[in-house]
Structure 1
């Protein structure tokens, strides 16, 4: 059996700051590699995995701040490190980068085996490969630099569609995407203002009230936590 190797940028315990699980204690597993190219991305250090930036997992777990260093590890390595660090949170957020560059099934199974619940945060531009019980948050990235289409299969697997919004055009783009997919009946649709811009926030609030959608606020940025 071939085991997936993951390039990991960082792993830390904090509070989930956005989406359905806002306020829930969580361990974030941030994976390296992303080809989407969002202009406003706040984790551009995860876009590539340069060989000279490879480090030991021990170095990665101690890292402070954003930098492009990474370590190549297995699912078992990640769970062992979770236990060694004495993390309390049972909610695991697998993010990136673009986590769906990898088959995440093995990693989700490894965490579920020790009583954790997994959530992934994906752009929807790669195939979603996770366990059935994994909570899938798709944050559609439309017409980005990488020119990757948002996959209908990703939208149809989503438990939550959390859409970044700057202008009304972004809402129209989301409408077009959703019209093409057979969404889950219980899917949560949330709008998230980009970069806490006042007009974007106002637009999201108005639209959420009108459509009975949910507002996602990046509370971690207001609280100045990771």
Structure 2
């Protein structure tokens, strides 16, 4: 667990492209470091935090494209950068990497004090430390290369369980994972195709209809936006 500030890979304003808040204007704060090791990860540049990749916040805020560069910043410095950039979105998405490598309480409280709403996107493999009001989106990563277990406490805290699916095996894994766990009574259950391949998408559609769950489509990939 990281304890001194936050290692920020990038920060930008866009539209939330997936899950419960699809279509909502949002500021994304992507944090560096992840030990999960998902084979299909599209942000592998965030896995490590090499000292040679450290930059100023000014360089990070303007960078284009994926890179492993990062900056060290406190909650107050991140909020100050949000204000300096003149962002209008009041929905803050803290992602990664694996954001729960950090205690996120200070960062969430700092944004909430400004009237913003915070959401985190986590694998559930690290303890979730956020404000009570933070919306926790958990995409359980099961049997990944990093061999980290999805925590029961993270599943119980989740407001939304958004599960990546390519085959029936992934749905079976989810069923097994939550079979003996008491989730929040109003938790949003969503299936998200790992790829844009028709077979995976149709499997998710059929299962969501059968179970009255929600389909999460990565609309940002179809729209070619960040």
TM-score (norm 2): 0.98
Q: Which residue of 1 aligns with 2:161?
A: 161
Q: Is the 8 A contact 1:28 1:94 kept in 2?
A: yes
Q: Structure 1: how far apart are the matches of 2:124 and 2:188?
A: 15
Counterparts of 1:24 and 1:221, CA distance in 2: 15
* 2:204 alignment partner, SS class: helix
Q: In the alignment, does 2:102 pair up with 1:102?
A: yes
Does structure 1 residue 138 correspond to structure 2 residue 138? yes
For 2:125, the equivalent position in structure 1 comes to 125
1:21 equivalent in alignment to 2:21: yes
**Which structure 2 residues correspond to residues 36-47 of structure 1 after superposition, within 5 A?**
36-47=36-47
- 1:57 Cα deviation after fit: 0.4
For residues 124-178 of structure 1, give each alpha carbon's deviation from its aligned partner in whole angstroms, at most 9, with x where no partner exists.
0000000000000000000000000000100000000000000000000000111
Unmatched runs of 5 consecutive residues or more in structure 1:
none
Q: Tell me, in whole angstroms, the C-alpha distance in 2 between the residues paired with 1:181 and 1:4.
A: 33
Query: Partners in 2 of 1:102 and 1:38 — Cα distance?
Result: 19
* Post-superposition offset of 1:210: 0.1
User: 1:170-185 maps to which residues of 2 (within 5 A)?
Assistant: 170-185=170-185
Q: How far apart, in 1, do the equivalents of 2:180 and 2:141 lie?
A: 16
How far apart, CA to CA, are the structure 1 residues paired with 2:207 and 2:30? Answer: 31
Tell me the residue number matched to 1:9.
9
Aligned to 2:193: 193
Query: Which segments of structure 1 move beyond 3 Å, counting only runs of 4 or more?
Result: none
Q: Could you say what secondary structure the match of 1:127 adopts? A: coil
Match of 1:88 in 2: 88
Give the equivalent residue in structure 2 for 1:112.
Answer: 112
Structure 2: give runs of 5+ residues left out of the alignment.
none
Could you tell me how far 1:179 is from its partner in structure 2? 1.0
The answer for the alignment partner of 2:206 in structure 1 is: 206
Q: CA deviation at 1:4?
A: 3.8
- Shift in Å at residue 213 of structure 1? 0.2
TM-superposed CA distance for 1:197, in Å, is: 1.6
Return the alpha-carbon distance in structure 2 between the equivalents of residues 181 and 11 of structure 1.
35
1:4–1:103 contact (8 Å) kept in structure 2: no
What is the DSSP-based 3-state SS (H/G/I as helix, E as strand, rest coil) of the residue aligned with 2:186?
Answer: coil
- The Cα of 1:196 is off from its aligned counterpart by 1.1
Report the Cα distance in structure 1 between the residues aligned to 2:115 and 2:10, rounded to whole angstroms: 22
State the Cα RMSD in Å: 0.7
